[in-house]
Structures are given as structure tokens and as C-alpha cells.
A = this chain, B = another copy of it.
Amino acid sequence: MSYSYDYPRPALTVDCVVFGFDDGDLKVLLIQRNEPPFEGEWALPGGFVRMDESLEEAARRELEEETGAREMFLEQFGSFGDVHRDPRGRVVTVAYYALVKLSDQSIRAETDARSAEWRPMRALPPLAFDHEMILARALARLKEKVRREPVGFELLPKKFKLTQIQHLYEAVLGRTLDKRNFRKKLLRLGLLVPLDEQETDVRHRAAQLFRFDRKKYLRLVEKGFHFEL
């Protein structure tokens, strides 16, 4: 069957699952809807794809409107087109997930028209449309990703403690990891460079700080691994 232009067309949107990590907590950016359907309910940020922009451009524009930041890790992970997913008519959405450091001062959650908030994944409100399913798929993709390639660059501050990276993995995987075992496996990947500095301004025993070995990191992103956790 050839392409056809005379038939009715579904509306096309992009939706974004923006994950942020904030020491110990995996968070996601949600928008409170201010019009029907689902008025007053929470939803993923997103919107209509314009005729003169590509899908990724539409996603980056939406993200910039919601967070003020344009440069972030962004990856398309699926399109969702069930016939009745939107009560107003046929709408197909292309979904992206983004990873941002919440420690980065340039990231905000705000928008002129709507209320936007970072909500912890462990205590989410019900979401509008099929957004709970879309979010679940994004989380599944992120879980796969952390087992296959390094992801900390996008989510951790430049210098971090081993506890922080363990909390990141725990927040993504949704379970507690054995500290000794995790550290052994992590250090074996050879990704981390110990720094001469230690954390400052702490009452407890100061912990060793690390940074990523950028070259090794990029090589492993390319090559992939299987991090058994």
C-alpha cells in the first residue's frame, strides 16, 4: 500500500519523561493540566508537533519551555498510538526520555501556564491519559540502560561519593543493593577515578570523592557491558 494523503490523519504529539536525580531520589518532571480532559490532574510534559520541526526538535522545544534547559541527554524510546488513548480523538505520541542533574542550577521546573513539579518516583500521583504506562516504559528503558552502559555522567554531580552512585542505581532499580558487592563490581569496571579531595563540611568521617574517567566512560557507552546487579 502506498502513502496516502487524503485520509483523516491522527494528531501527533511528543511527550517527555524527564528523570532527575537528587541525592537518593529519582524524580520525574510532571505538569498539572489546566484544561479538560483530566483537568487538574498530573501528566508528562509534551505537546503538538509543528509542521516545520522534526520530532526531536519538538521534544527539545517542549523541554526548554518546561525546564529552561535545551542541552540534555534525550532519547526517543517509543511511540504510542492506541486508538482510544486520548478521549478527544486519535492522537499518536512519540515519547522521549531525558536525564538531568537536579544539582545543575540551570534546571528549573516551571512554565507560564501550568504548574510543574519534580515528583519522586516512589510517590507519584495518578497520571492522565496513558502516561503511567509511558512512564513505566521509560523507567524500564532506564533500568536496561544502567545495566548496559554507564549513565552517571548525566545524573550525578561532577565529583561524587560511592554512596551517591549506589543511591542512583538503587533509585533506578527500585531495590537496595549490597554495599560491598556493588562497590566491588562497580570498581571492576574501571570507570572511576579517585580524587585527591574529600568531601568538606561534614561531621561524619569524610568520604572519598570520585570522578568518571571520561575516555573509558565513552568507550563503554560505545561497547556496552552487562552489569549484573
Contacts and interface: CB of A to CB of B under 8 A. Distances in A.
A5 B79 contact: no
A225 interface: yes
A172 interface: no
B1 A5 contact: no
Interface of A: 1-5, 7-13, 33-35, 46-55, 62, 65, 76, 78-83, 86, 88-92, 94, 113, 144, 147-148, 224-226
Given A4-B11, A9-B11, 5 more contacts: A3-B48, A8-B51, A10-B49, A54-B81, A224-B226
B1 A65 contact: yes
Contact of A92 (B5, B33, B55): B55
A131 to B, nearest CB: 12
B92 A47 contact: no
Nearest to A78: B76
A90 B9 CA distance: 12
A47 B1 contact: yes
Q: Could you say how many copies of this chain the assembly holds?
A: 2
Contact residues of A: prevailing secondary structure: loop
Listed from nearest, the 8 A-B pairs whose CB atoms lie closest are A226-B226, A1-B47, A55-B81, A9-B9, A4-B48, A79-B79, A79-B94, A54-B82
A3 B86 CA distance: 10
Nearest to A12: B10
Contacts of A8: 51
A206 to B, nearest CB: 36
A53 B2 contact: no
Contacts of A47: 1-4
B7 A9 contact: no
Contacts of A35: 2
A2 to B, nearest CB: 6
Nearest to A37: B3
Contact of A5 (B4, B88, B144): B88
22 contacts: A1-B46, A1-B47, A1-B48, A1-B62, A1-B65, A1-B113, A2-B33, A3-B11, A3-B13, A3-B47, A3-B91, A4-B47, A9-B10, A10-B49, A12-B12, A12-B92, A49-B81, A54-B83, A76-B79, A79-B79, A144-B224, A224-B226
